[in-house]
Structure formats: structure tokens, C-alpha cells
């Protein structure tokens, strides 16, 4: 009887210590799957955005071919007197193929009403510009403007200070004339 109780107690103790570890492993793998899913979605949006850019602005392909790296961000901006927005993206070095996942945020004050979804493509002319963008982030001081019911695109057709920037804007209800700061930085959770 004492042996049976000792074995039973030992089994209960093992179960008590093993169960939390198994649950932690399950939660970890669930979190890893979520991160992988987010990365895959960002990569797919980036691929589609680049293809759309090349189709709409054929000369952008030449700059892409010259670039040492690129970044694509999917953004949503909301304005109701004040504006704010955010999104995610990925920066890629062509030489290494390394993907660095990033966030962006914007905010401002001015006349605005509506929601605007858009993608921004950065092409990097040199390694220093790409490295600084990824490691230190980047901040733009002026927001793009869009008109309700029209496609808007702010396009720079050459490298300026090591960057070429393309903005692809969806048709939307955005009446906007604000000056907004936009900042880009690394996404800690997706780069672990």
C-alpha cells in the first residue's frame, strides 16, 4: 500500500511539473506561428506592391535594378481634424537577402476627414542609406496629400540623398491638407 501511494504521489508530482512546461511549449509554438503568419502577410503585400509599381511606373524597375535594397510599407491613415496612422513593412538587402520587419507611424494636425490606405516603396541607392534606415529608422516631416475620389501618387523618379520613394494610394475618402510626421523603425516582435 505504501509503495502504491509513493508511486501515485510521484506520478502526480511529475504531472504537476510537466504540464506547465508542455503548456509553455504549446504557447511558444502558437506565438511562433503567429509571427510567421505576420511575416508571410507582409512579404506578400511587399511582392504585390512592387509588381503594381513596376506595372504602373515602368521606369521604377530601372531604379529597382540599380538599388542595393528596398523597403515596402502598407499604411492606413485616418483623419478627423487630426490625423494618425500606422502600418508595417519589410526592408530587404539584395546582397544578403535579409528581411528586417519594421513599423511606421504618422500623426499631424490640420484639415482632414476620412481614411486612406496606401503603400510606400523605398529604393536604396547605397549600403549606408539602407543600413541607417534599418538601424536608426527614418522620419519624414511632410505628409502626402490626397484628394477624395482620385488616385494619388507621389513619385520621385531618381535617387535623392540615396533614396527613391514611391507612394501608391488607393481610391478613398481622404480630404487632407495636413503636415504630418512619419517615422519608420524596427518591429521588435517580428525580428526576434
Rounded distance, CA 70 to CA 61, Å? 12
Query: What is the per-residue pLDDT for 6?
Result: 56
Query: What is the per-residue pLDDT for 175?
Result: 31
Q: Which residues pair with 116 in a beta bridge?
A: 77
Report whether pLDDT(52) > 50.
yes
Least confident interval from 45-54, 142-151, 157-166: 142-151
User: Could you tell me if residue 147 is inside a domain?
Assistant: yes
User: Could you tell me if residue 158 is inside a domain?
Assistant: yes
User: Could you tell me if residue 19 is inside a domain?
Assistant: no
pLDDT of 32-49, one tens digit each? Answer: 889 999 999 999 999 999
Structural domain harbouring 143:
53-191
Q: How confident is the model at residue 182 (pLDDT cuts 50, 70, 90)?
A: confident
User: Could you tell me if residue 171 is inside a domain?
Assistant: yes
Q: How confident is the model at residue 83 (pLDDT cuts 50, 70, 90)?
A: confident
**Mean pLDDT, residues 13-20 taken together:** 54
Query: What is the per-residue pLDDT for 91?
Result: 98
Report whether pLDDT(123) > 80.
yes
Number of domains in the chain: 1
Residue % of the chain over a pLDDT of 90: 39
Contacts for 175 with CB less than 8 Å, ≥ 6 apart = 79, 111, 112, 113, 114, 147, 148
- We report the CATH number of the domain holding residue 166 as 2.40.128
Q: How confident is the model at residue 27 (pLDDT cuts 50, 70, 90)?
A: low
User: Could you tell me if residue 96 is inside a domain?
Assistant: yes
Q: What is the pTM of this model?
A: 0.73
User: Could you tell me if residue 45 is inside a domain?
Assistant: no
Left (φ > 0), alpha (ψ -120 to 50) or beta: where does 134 sit? alpha
Q: How confident is the model at residue 78 (pLDDT cuts 50, 70, 90)?
A: confident
User: Could you tell me if residue 68 is inside a domain?
Assistant: yes
User: Could you tell me if residue 187 is inside a domain?
Assistant: yes
Amino acid at each position: 500500500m505504501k509503495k502504491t501511494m509513493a508511486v501515485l504521489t510521484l506520478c502526480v508530482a511529475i504531472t504537476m511539473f510537466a504540464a506547465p512546461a508542455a503548456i509553455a511549449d504549446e504557447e511558444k509554438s502558437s506565438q511562433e506561428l503567429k509571427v510567421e503568419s505576420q511575416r508571410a502577410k507582409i512579404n506578400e503585400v511587399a511582392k504585390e506592391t512592387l509588381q503594381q509599381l513596376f506595372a504602373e511606373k515602368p521606369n521604377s524597375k530601372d531604379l529597382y535594378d540599380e538599388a542595393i535594397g528596398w523597403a515596402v510599407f502598407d499604411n492606413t491613415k485616418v483623419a478627423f481634424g487630426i490625423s494618425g496612422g500606422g502600418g508595417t513593412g519589410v526592408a530587404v538587402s539584395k546582397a544578403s537577402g535579409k528581411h528586417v520587419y519594421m513599423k511606421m507611424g504618422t500623426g499631424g494636425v490640420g484639415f482632414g476627414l476620412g481614411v486612406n490606405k496606401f503603400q510606400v516603396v523605398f529604393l536604396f541607392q547605397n549600403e549606408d542609406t539602407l543600413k541607417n534606415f534599418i538601424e536608426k529608422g527614418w522620419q519624414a516631416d511632410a505628409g502626402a496629400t490626397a484628394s477624395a475620389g482620385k488616385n494619388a501618387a507621389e513619385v520621385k523618379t531618381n535617387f535623392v540623398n540615396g533614396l527613391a520613394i514611391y507612394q501608391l494610394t488607393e481610391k478613398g475618402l481622404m480630404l487632407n491638407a495636413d503636415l504630418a510626421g512619419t517615422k519608420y523603425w524596427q518591429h521588435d516582435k517580428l525580428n526576434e
